[in-house]
Chains A and B, each alone.
Chain A
Amino acid sequence: MGEKIVEWALFVSALSSIFIVFFILAFLLKEGFPALTLGWREFFFGMTWHPSHDQFGIFPIVVSTFVVGIGALVLAAAVGIPAAIYLAEFSPDWLRNLVKPSVEMLVGFPSVVLGLFGLTVLVVFVRDAFGGWGECVLAGWVILAIMTLPHVVSISEDSIRAVPNGYKEASLALGATQLQTVRKVILPNARSGILASLVLGMGNAVGETMAVLMVVGNPNIPWIPHSALEPVRVLTSTIVIEISYAVWGSMHQHALFALGVVLFAVVAVLNAVTTAVIRRGKGGWGRD
């Protein structure tokens, strides 16, 4: 009898996550939907976001978000994948035991502190070295790359280590050098894990808020940047900055929630792709 009650209580608790996600979706859609009454074409493809004129075109914000996210990812991949290869294949154990936990610690590093660092060091450096405002796309790339790096290193390293030793031995036995083995045998077999780490990193980059907000400048009117030295506005920074003064119940507030829905959708798609990539990678072997 008591046992049954416990089981039911646990079951009900387990359902809580489902309820929370449903509530999040329901409330976001309910608050965001009125923004579409202005016309979905104007909303998704409108080029001007001008709340005081009731103009809510999110296109420049979405494009800027991807510009910042993709640039950051390229940077993170350029450092993270070689780092993962080194840690998995060539590093002495003591170095790996030092580097991997430190990098993984960066995953939860308070983003506002990173933003402060960006604002006082990176932005000043960019302004002195390249001119312009300093608060710009480039600063966003670097800061976001720092935040994405741990995901890329950690997951890529795991997937590189997961390549069976037999593959490597076979390649070396054929006379291939270590680097040839890495390029032709290890990387193709670890491909899905590496790809997954990149897509996951992208999801994190797009959803990251405070650090980006503090370094990208956020001009009053969002635009599509023409160079890496221009300030931009991304989805997350627009939401956080404007929600503080949007009148509750106004079209402005609804538009900001609609931005939240768009952000949610983008990140959900990226996460779904990650899951699919990982699953596909597990199924097939012997490709390439």
Chain B
Amino acid sequence: MSVCVRVREEVVKLGLCAAALVSVAVLLVLVGYIFFNGAGAINPAFLLESPYRFEHGGIFPQVVGTFFLVAVCLLFAVPLGLATAIYLAEYAADNLVTRSVRFFVECLAGIPSVVIGLFGLVFLVYFLGFGVSLLSGGLALGFMILPWTVRASEEAIKTVPYSYREASLALGVSKWQTIRGVVLRNAAPGIITGVLLGMGKAVGETAVVLLTAGSGLESFLPRSLSDPVGSLPVYIFMLATQGHTSAASSRAFGASLVLIAMFLLSSLFALLLRNRFVRRKRRKIW
């Protein structure tokens, strides 16, 4: 290989490396920028008071509202997704019904969030009469992350070795008891990882919540499921697009910092859990 060719190879490799580094740099710059601009806005009052117009007060109802929305969303999506996954992984025969369930789960995963928001608006808010509320917002978010909980749960269930099930069945335990006591217990870390990732998605989702749950500037906590609820993403959106003062802008960064902290924490937790799970499983085998 001539020197010239070798040099060219190395140069191209350097270029490829640069592309890879750019991909990471984007995330670092993004998080860094939000941190430096948002950290100044964070203080106890900002976290514990209610907002007043764009420039005053805190984001307490928005933070709590986001948690409420995610809670309703998970209460809907996790049981349903888990049940779907158990059916697909443990019971389903390979027939038309099963294949269509899989197909429609993929379909649902592909639907853009703003379309889910439109559906939430016409179906939940108007047709079922839930109004612009915590319930509508939470359910609409639930529709959105349902396919992710199905996928993650099914994959986790499939990693449980078949011999575990055989051992349980050989002891005379029934199928459902085996699933509950053996399969789900061993798949739990994987399922929780999937739920955490879905949670990260729901926490940051704006379009769905904007159309179904409230205007974001609510200065009160919802007292029931049918009250409108403020949320961090919508609050940030309102401040960024309609609050034209520097105070509003710095508060938008403060709220963003809190939001990405919630997002990164749930992602990080999911990652750690997955790694620990993998390591534990390896140790068990040997």
A116, B253: Cβ atoms closer than 8 Å: yes
Decide if A21 touches B107 in the complex (CB within 8 Å): yes
A257 to B210, CA, bound (A): 16
B111 touches A267 (CB 8 A): yes
The CA-CA distance from A108 to B104 in the complex, in Å, is: 22
B285 touches A (CB below 8 Å): no
**Does A6 touch B at the CB level, under 8 Å?**
yes
In the complex, which of the residues A102, A112, A115, A271 has the most CB atoms of chain B within 10 Å of its own CB atom?
A112
B92-109 contacts to A, CB under 8 A, are 92, 100-101, 104-108
B125 to chain A, nearest CB (A): 10
Given the complex, which residues of B lie within 8 Å of A82, measured CB to CB?
15-16, 19-20
A149 touches B118 (CB 8 A): no
Contact of B204 among A7, A16, A108 (CB under 8 A): A108
In the complex formed, the residue of A with least CB distance to B200 is A108
Question: Is A173 an interface position by the 8 A CB rule?
Answer: no
Q: Which stretch (A34-42, A44-52, A236-244) binds chain B?
A: A236-244
The answer to whether the Cβ of B264 comes within 8 Å of any Cβ in the partner chain is yes
Partner of B118, one of A18, A106, A243: A243
**Cβ of B186 under 8 Å from chain A:** no
User: Which among B56-64, B142-150, B157-165 touches the partner chain?
Assistant: B142-150
Residue picked from A15, A24, A87, A256, most chain B C-beta under 10 Å: A24
Bound: A112/B241 CA distance, A: 11
* Central interface residue in B19, B147, B200, by most chain A CB within 10 Å: B19
- Per-position binary interface string of chain B over residues 187-204, scored 1 when its CB falls under 8 Å from any chain A CB and 0 otherwise: 000000000010011011
- Given that A17-B104, A85-B16 are contacting pairs, would A271 and B110 also be in contact in the complex, using a CB cutoff of 8 Å? yes
Determine if A111 is an interface residue (Cβ-Cβ < 8 Å): yes
Q: Is the interface of A mostly helix, strand, loop or mixed?
A: helix
Report whether B237 and A117 are in contact in the complex, using a CB–CB cutoff of 8 Å.
Answer: no
A193 within 8 A of B: no
Smallest CB–CB gap between B227 and chain A, Å?
A: 19
B169 to chain A, nearest CB (A): 12
Residues of B close to A117: CB separation below 8 A: 30, 33-34
Within 8 A of B (CB), among A89-119: 90-91, 95, 98-99, 101-103, 105-106, 108-117, 119
Check if B23 is an interface residue, CB within 8 A of chain A. Answer: yes
Question: Nearest-CB distance from A32 to chain B (Å)?
Answer: 9
Contact B26 A3 (CB under 8 A): no
The one of B19, B79, B110, B197 in contact with A83, judged by C-beta atoms closer than 8 angstroms, is: B19
Q: Which of A203-211, A219-227, A280-288 contacts B (4 or more CB under 8 A)?
A: A203-211
Q: Which residues of B contact A102 (CB under 8 A)?
A: 24, 27-28
B267 touches A90 (CB 8 A): no
Q: Interface SS of chain B: helix, strand, loop or mixed?
A: helix
Q: Judge whether A3 and B176 touch: CB under 8 Å.
A: yes
Pairwise interchain contact A18-B267, C-beta atoms closer than 8 A: no
A190 at the interface (CB under 8 A from B): no
**A250 at the B interface (CB under 8 A):** no
A206-B259 contact, Cβ under 8 Å, with A14-B101, A112-B237, A113-B204: no
Is A20's CB within 8 Å of the partner chain B? yes
Residues of A within 8 A of B171 (CB): none
Q: Is the pair A267, B204 in contact by a Cβ cutoff of 8 Å?
A: no
0/1 string, A255-266, CB within 8 A of B gives 1: 011001001100
Cβ-defined partner of A115 (8 Å) among B9, B21, B240, B271: B240
Binds A, one of B40-48, B67-75, B82-90, B217-225: B82-90
A177 to B108, CA, bound (A): 45
Rounded to whole angstroms, the CA-CA distance of A260 and B120 in the bound complex is 12
A113 with B84: CB separation less than 8 A: no
Is B116 in contact with chain A by the CB < 8 A criterion? yes
Given A13-B83, A14-B84, A83-B20, A239:B9 Cβ within 8 A: no
B204 adjacent to A112 (CB under 8 Å): yes
Closest to B271 in A: A101
Tell me whether A177 and B110 are in contact (CB under 8 A). no
Closest Cβ–Cβ distance, residue A100 to chain B (whole Å): 9
Q: How far is the CA of A31 from the CA of B127 in the complex (A)?
A: 12
A27 CA to B271 CA, complexed, in Å: 38
Residues in B with CB closer than 8 Å to A83 are 16, 19-20, 22-23
Q: Does B141 have its Cβ within 8 Å of any Cβ on chain A?
A: no
A3 touches B123 (CB 8 A): no
Are B237 and A210 in contact, CB atoms less than 8 angstroms apart?
A: yes
Q: Is the CB of B101 within 8 A of A15?
A: yes
Please indicate the chain B residues that have their CB under 8 angstroms from the CB of A58 in the complex: none
| Other A-B pairs beyond A10-B83, A108-B267, 7, CB < 8 Å | A10-B87, A105-B27, A108-B263, A120-B37, A149-B23, A177-B5, A179-B12
Task: List 24 contacting pairs A-B, 8 Å CB cutoff, sorted by A.
Answer: A7-B87, A10-B86, A16-B80, A17-B101, A24-B143, A82-B15, A85-B16, A87-B20, A108-B204, A109-B204, A109-B263, A110-B263, A112-B259, A113-B30, A113-B34, A117-B30, A119-B240, A179-B12, A207-B112, A209-B114, A240-B207, A243-B211, A263-B112, A267-B111
What is A's interface to B at a CB cutoff of 8 Å? 2-3, 6-7, 9-11, 13-18, 20-21, 23-24, 27-28, 31, 79-80, 82-83, 85-87, 90-91, 95, 98-99, 101-103, 105-106, 108-117, 119-121, 146, 149-150, 153, 177-179, 203, 206-210, 214, 236, 239-240, 243, 248, 256-257, 260, 263-264, 267-268, 271, 275
